[in-house]
Structure formats: C-alpha cells, structure tokens
Structure 1
Amino acid sequence: MEIQKEIKTICPEAEFEQGECLLVKVPDNKWHALALELRDRYGFDMLTAVVGMDWTETLGCLYYLTSTDRDWEMICVRVETADRTQPRLHSVSDIWKVANFQEREVYDFFGIEFIGHPDMRRFFLRNDWVGYPLRKDYDANPELNPIRLEDEKDEDNTYTLEEDENGNVKRRDYKVFQAEDYVVNIGPQHPSTHGVMRFRAAVDGETVKKVDVVSGYIHRGIEKLCEGLTYPQMLHFTDRMDYMSAHQNRHCLCMCIEKALGIEVPRRAQVIRVMMDELMRISSHLLSFGCTSMDLGATTCFFYGFRERERVLDIFEKTCGARMSMNYNVIGGVIADLHPDFQKDVKELCAIMPKALKEYHKVFSGNIIALNRLKNVGHLSREDAINYCVTGPSGRGSNFSCDCRKKHPYSIYSELDFNEVLANGCDSYARYMVRMREIEESVKILEQLVDNIPEGDIRAQVPRIIKLPAGRWYQQVEASRGTFGVFIESTGEKTPARVHFQSPCFNLVGVMDLTCANYMIADLITIGAALDFVIPDIDR
C-alpha cells in the first residue's frame, strides 16, 4: 500500500490492480517521469522483462520491475496507446539499458515505436518484413512474406524519434556505422557451439570500437505458435530454446501453469524436478568449460569436460529416453518415474566430480595462456550487470547477487543447503570460475537429495482439457545462464492469449558491445564464450 500512495503522489492518474504482484497502469505521457522516480527514489533498479501486448483496443507493454534493495520486490507497469495506425510509447532505454534490445523486440513484433529510443530497427525479422506478427490482426498470408533469396538492403539504416519540449515528435535518420568505420563481419556461421549469430564489429587495427548484434537467423516464432496451441502442446518449445537449460525452462513453464490452476505438485515430483535441474546445470557448465577452452585452442579440455558430461547425459537418457530435449516435466509433475539406476548413477557422478574439477583447474584454470586471455578481459561492472539485467553466472561474476533460487525461492530450494557463488573480478575469468564453483554447489544439492527421494505419485491429477482462468501470471527460475521467465495471459480459453519467454541469453548478448569495446578482436570470441549465451534462447 505504501508504494501505491507514493506512485499516486507522482502520477495521480495511476490505476492499480492487485495480483501476484502489483499492477500499475499509467498514461504514456507520465511513464518516463514515473520510471525515473521508481528507479532513483524507490530502488527499482532492474527491468526484469518487457512484454509487448495487443489488447485489441490498444497496443502496449507490461514492464516488470525489480528492486534489488527492497527484498527483490517486483511490480508491473502497464503502458498503452489506442493508436493502432502509428502506435508510439516513450522509451525507458535511457533509464534501464536492457530496454534497448527489449523495446526493439516489441517494435519488431507489434510495430510500436519508442520515442527517445536510440536505434529503432527490427531485431529478429528482416527490415522488409510485411506486418507485425504478434498483433491480433496480423495477416499470415505466406505470399506477403515469401522466402527471400536476396540480401537484406539498407541494414545500416536506423532512426530515432526525438521529442521537443512542446511534445512534437520528429524522426531523425542516421547510420549505425560511419563511412570511415572499418567493419568486420563475424558470422553468421556457427562459431564454436554458440549458435548462428552475426556480429558486425567496427575495428581500429585489431581493437574493437563497436559491436552491432544481428540476430534472427534461427528465429522460429515460438511465442506466436503458442497462441494457437493448448497448454500441454506448447511445453516442448522450452526444451528447444536454451537446450542446455531444457529441464529448468520446462520446469518454469509448468510452474507458471500450475500456479494459475492452483495445482499442488507431489513431493516426489518436486524432488525429481530439482535433481534434474541441477544435473542440467552441471551438464551446461561442463559444456561451457569445454567450449571456452576450445575457443582458446585448448582442445584437450573440451574432451575432459565431455567425459563427465557424458555421465550426466547417460542419466538423462535412462530416465527420460533422450540426451537432449528431454520433454520430461509435464503439468502436475513429471512424465515418467526414475530409472532403477538413477540413484546409483547420481552417487557415482557426485563421487568423481571433485577429482575431475581439480583436473580441470590443473590443466586449464591456472594455465598462463588461459589467464592472459580471460583475466581483465570483457569488463562488466556490478552496476552495468544490474542495468542490463545480466543474471546467472555472468552477473554473479560481477558480484551481483541474483540467484533466483535464493531471491525468489521456488519448489524445494528453500529447504536445501547451498551457497550462491559470487566473484568480484567483473571479467571473463570471474564468469568462468563462477560456473566451475557452481558445479560444486549443484553436486552438494544432489548429495542432499539422492537418498531422500520420497515415495509417492510422480504427478498430480490435472483436467483432460486445461483452461487457465482469466488473468496473467509471471514465473521465474534459475536456469543455467540466468533468470528465465515465463509470462502467460489467459482469457479463460484452452489456448493462451499471450505467452512471453524472457530469456537470460537475450540480455547476455545485449552487453557484447559494452564488454568488447576497446579490447582486441580476438577477445570478442573469448568474451562471448565467457558470457556463454545460447542463440536459440535469444531467437526463440
């Protein structure tokens, strides 16, 4: 109630709606000033998610804000416009830097232009794409957008909308790179295992001056597809975003649906889910170790990491029937019970990991080449990590305490004894070491649970046809690369009105320009490896 009174003082027109978090509806012309106050006076220093919306009568956004100083309190701000012909809202990209890419995504899919945004280009789709796919009136006629075989034209052109003191808005066109810039294309081939991404880097000799991220090469339109599917049908998409966070992502979507339905998941299923999540985290961090070392030329370490990772994948295969894209979590629990070898295999993994980690550190972590390539490279301050909403190991490598398992405990994590791993190096080496130490913490969690898996049901009874009540829900989990979020808005039908997946990797790639500027071009690959983004999680 206190925050409502304060907001009402700043913006008398504000309207409030109670829910799982406070929803504040504000006029667009008051939004920017309120956003500044919320950040500077009330400590809402992190923009967690920007969800573009088409409410039929209006277009707009839901901004989920988090205060890291107020016990991670979250509020949601609704801003909208009734102009569907030329929809415009005021940008907050100057307040929270993460809004730069987030608002570009909204423009790409809803056609909402943001006044004051520095770079109003589409992000995922070609600039000659006809229409805005997530609008309810979008024309999906394939003849409007055939498969184009020619290169995209004028990809260097962008614009900003500038507003004067009288409220008049004027468009100013400009170029991303200047005529004198020497621009090097990196991608869109498959660099290491990070996916099909393209960077355009302006260089001065071998020093990077600017990085432009070009995404969308494997964009699949998952959020649009979800609008035509039932809730069980859309579960499989989560395994195919960050495939190294398959269990955590699917866990998140299931929990969001279960929260809306008021389903209580059986204790056995909760324990199994957490164990699978931590096995997934170990598998992911081992892959990151192998790929980071291979990007630096240490091929031997790649095989070392995969040696232990194979044990994890064997565990998955026995219980889930697959080594990747396991499709294991379902609404109400898990799809199948554990394999008879599960406990034995997990104990064997926990037993060999301490020795394996010592070997990794001996071979790579203390190697002089690795130290020279990773230490003091790719600086990301704690303040920038918060401003760009960089969570997971990359945020914690900048001493940003952001572990969702601790800040917003879910499932049984509040009952477990484990440490949030932090490092204050703020560089690529710190991010690398956080992952290595997190493997130890995941092993600790598995050791606490492996002999304490209760008997009982593996899933709750759910309706044959699942219809969520009318409303909106937002759920977060700690995925392998940071906080993964799921937003669902329902009108009471068996298909959702809107689904949004807030990917941690989208924010990670958003700091490539910041972390690569003034470093060598060879460092760009190292920095990307240490940030550890997975492209399908970005492109969705």
Structure 2
Amino acid sequence: MEAIKQLILATAPEAVLEEKALLTVTVAPDDLRALATALKNDPASRFDFLIQLTGVDEGETFSVVYLMTSSDDMSRQLVVKTYTADRENPVLPTVSDIWGTALLNEREVFGFLGIRFIDHPDMRHLFLTERWKGYPLRKDYDASREANPVDVTSYPMSDHTETWVKGKEGIQHEKIQLFDEDDYVLNIGPQHPATHGVLHFRTALDGEIIKKIDVNCGYIHRGIEKLSEGLTYPQILHFTDRLDYLSAHINRHALCMCVEKAAGIEVTDRVDVIRTIMDELTRVTSHLLSWATMCMDMGALTAFIYGMRDREKIMDIFEETTGGRLIQNYNVIGGVMADLHPDFQRKVKAFIPYMREKLKEYHQLYTGNVIAVNRMKGVGILRKETAISYA
C-alpha cells in the first residue's frame, strides 16, 4: 500500500491518511475528482470497482464515504471520505462519470440526505417521490405524519431530469428532457403479480433495440434504514431476511458479523461452519431459481419445473433445521438459533452428488438450445470495463 499512499499524497497533498482496518483517506471536495481519477487509472492501484457509496450525517458536517477495490485484486480495498459543512445547501462533486455505479448511488444519497452532486446528469430522487418533504436520514428530519401525510393521488411522472452544473457563473440548475419527441416509449411495470421486487422502466425503443431506460426504483423502498434507527440490533435482524428473500440467510449472516465485530463477540468454529454451509446452500437455491425463471421467460417450461424440483430438496433441508423454507430467521448475534437437525449431514451429503448429475442434465437440456442461443447470443454485450464500472 506504500505506492498507493504516495499516489494519494502526490495527487492531494492535504489528504489525511488513517491506518484503520482499511486505509482511510479524508480529502477536501476540491481534490476528490482528481484523486478518484488517479486511483482508478493509475496502473499500480487500478481501483476500478466502487463497492459502495454512502452518505452520513455527522452532525456538523455531511460526509460521503467511497469504498473501492481493484478487479485485479479484490483483497486490496480503500476508503475515501469527503465532506461538506453546508447543511443548508450541501453540494459535492460527482464521480458518476468515473464509476458508473455512482449514477444511482449519488441519487440515493441526494434523496435521503439532500446532498447535491455537481455535474451529475440526473439529480432526481431515486426512491422517494419528488414531492417528499425533508431528507429522512438527516438527524434533524421531521418524521411526523403531518410533514408527509399519506397521498394516494396518482401524479404524472416527470419527463425531465434535474442537474446542477458548475460553470463560470457558479452552480446553475438545468432541466434535461428524458426522451425525444418522436421516441416510442414503452412502460414496463410497476405491476407484478407478487407485488414485491417491482420496478418501473420507461423504455425508449427503436424496433427491438432499447435506446434508453428511465428507472424508477421507488416501488421497492421499504425504509429499513430509517426503521433501524429506533430499534436494537436483535430487533433489526429480520429486516435483512427481506432485503433479498432468495439470500435471506446470507444477508442476516452479514449483519450478525457486523454486530459481532463491533461488540468484540467471538463465535465458535462450529457456528462458523454451520453458517458457511447454510450460506452455500442458500446460494445454490438462489441460482436454481434464477436459472429456472430465466428459462421459463424464454419459453422453456420444462427447465423451470426441473429447477424448482431440485430447489425444493434444499428447502426441505432448511425446514428441518430452521423451521423456515424461504425466510429462515436462523442466524442470531453470537451464533445460530438451534443446532443442526440430526438428518442434516446425511441429506446434504446425498444432495451434493445428486445436484452434480442434475447440472449435466441442465446443460444437455438448455445450454445449446437453439431458442436460447438465438435470443441471447450477441445481445446486450458489455465491455469488461463497463461491466465493472456499473457493478
């Protein structure tokens, strides 16, 4: 990391470096873009993967924290922080043209903390409506029902993006039209038969080619961050089960580890092994459902039935030990809710060779299928660099 420290100080001499669990760099807003560009483009560092971008209300200041790594060596991670003391009109420079994933991350921070990112092409709320009053993750937020009463009125969606641009005369507000007048725009969603996991895409089409998509994520926001502010750690564990119900056990495991690390709680080796096995089984069930539903969407109903059939075997294993199939509520702070069912080891050992044989069946059934190949080959190709930037 010495070469990286030298690069940081050469680019931003006033930066403050702290040796924490991860090297943490605090940099003034005026130096942020130069440092971010250097860290991403320098061959020795190549921090091309922005893992996370979050905003924090620290009382007197707002901070934005950037956790980054390199796709060449993901064990090498770095934290960069910047800040603003202006609570009335907080602004910071965008990094959305450096890391594509910041396009949505910065919109989320704007909606919840009110920090505007200069030169970001679309500073609309990502989850909240444009009529929402206040910024929910600020410490002085008014959470009363009177501030934001329930509104069941159906409002038309905006056809413009909002942007704040830095020019010779300072920061200026501009509106940019989303679609051209002659665009054919198709609405996809937000209706969904299960009413969860829904999105709304406004999609501009040129024949079968997608020209542009405007994403509305507000239908999936559950307010978990705000709810957690008033609850204890054990009380918020169940929220993580519902962040991604196909990875409920894994998400809950991650939160337990965060609390355990902060509190200095050590779990036994047996707990580590149980959690890891459960995580891996969860991952297999998630992949099976993803593969099965993708096949079904392309018309391969037989493949869907096969995938669901094999997923049920893991669901049965989960149910015996945890009492749950989709949502297990199994991990707790310091351990797991109960020991493994007496039949657990036998059934897992039987499932492993069974699944290996079924993967061959899946491959024979679907991989070379002419319908699948024709629908996917050469469609939606991304350069490696673009995929990493938006990951």
TM, length-normalised to structure 2:
0.95
What amino acid sits opposite 1:227 in the alignment?
A: E
Query: How well do the aligned residues superpose, as a CA RMSD in angstroms?
Result: 1.7
1:352 counterpart (351, 354, 362): 354
Query: Once the two structures are superposed, what CA deviation does each residue of 1:357-399 show, in whole Å capped at 9, x if it has no partner?
Result: 222222222221111112222212211121112xxxxxxxxxx
Higher relative contact order (CA 8 A, sep 6+): 1
Confirm or deny: 8 A CA contact 1:90 1:116 kept in the other structure: yes
Secondary structure of 2:266's counterpart equals coil
In the other structure, the counterpart of 2:163 is: 160
| 2:220 partner SS | coil
Displacement, 1:81? 0.7
- C-alpha separation in 2, matches of 1:311 and 1:110: 45
SS at 1:234's partner residue?
Answer: helix
Q: Does 1:227 align with 2:229?
A: yes
Unaligned runs of 5+ in 2: none
Query: May I ask how many residue pairs the two structures share in their alignment?
Result: 388
CA distance in 1, matches of 2:229, 2:194: 34
**Are the equivalent residues in 1 in contact too, given 2:188–2:201 (CA < 8 A)?**
yes
Q: How much has 1:36 moved relative to structure 2?
A: 0.9
Following TM superposition, by how much is the alpha carbon of 1:191 offset from its aligned partner in structure 2, in angstroms?
7.1
Partner residue in 1 for 2:278: 276
1:184 maps to a residue whose letter is L
State the shift of 1:192 in Å: 8.6
Query: Deviations for 1:200-239, whole angstroms, at most 9, x for unmatched residues?
Result: 1001233221111111213111111112111111111111
Q: How is 1:115-514 mapped onto 2 (pairs within 5 angstroms)? A: 115-164=118-167, 166=168, 168-190=170-192, 195-389=197-391
TM-score by length of 1: 0.69
Matched, 1:90 2:93: yes
The CA distance in 1 between the partners of 2:185 and 2:223, in whole Å, is: 30
- Write the distance in 2 (CA, Å) between the matches of 1:193 and 1:72: 38
| Displacement after TM superposition at 1:179 (Å) | 2.0
Cα shift at 1:58: 0.8
Identity of aligned residues (%): 53
What is aligned with 1:38? Answer: 39
Kept in 1: contact 2:196–2:220 (CA 8 A): no
Partner letter of residue 203 of structure 1?
Answer: L
CA contact (8 A) 1:126 1:152 kept: no
Which residue pairs with 1:18 in the alignment?
19
> SS at 2:235's partner residue?
coil
Q: Is it true that 1:107 corresponds to 2:110 in the alignment? A: yes
2-side partners of 1:153 and 1:380: how far apart?
33
Deviation for aligned residue 1:69: 3.6
Aligned with 1:83: secondary structure?
coil
Corresponding position: 1:60 with 2:83 = no
Deviations along 1:414-461, one digit per CA (max 9) or x if unpaired, are xxxxxxxxxxxxxxxxxxxxxxxxxxxxxxxxxxxxxxxxxxxxxxxx
Q: Is the 8 A contact 1:127 1:155 kept in 2?
A: no
Q: 1:266 & 1:233 partners in 2: Cα distance?
A: 23
Distance 1:69 1:308, change over 3 A: closer
Report the Cα distance in structure 1 between the residues aligned to 2:79 and 2:20, rounded to whole angstroms: 10
Structure 2: which amino acid aligns with 1:130?
K
Name the structure 2 match of 1:422: none
Distance in 2 between residues matched to 1:204 and 1:68, nearest whole Å: 34
Query: Does the C-alpha gap of structure 1 residues 181 and 172 become closer, same or farther in structure 2, counting only changes over 3 Å?
Result: same
Residue 265 of structure 1 and its aligned partner are, at CA, apart by 1.5
For structure 1, the residue ranges without an aligned partner over 5 or more in a row are: 390-540
Aligned partners of 1:48 and 1:66 also within 8 Å: yes
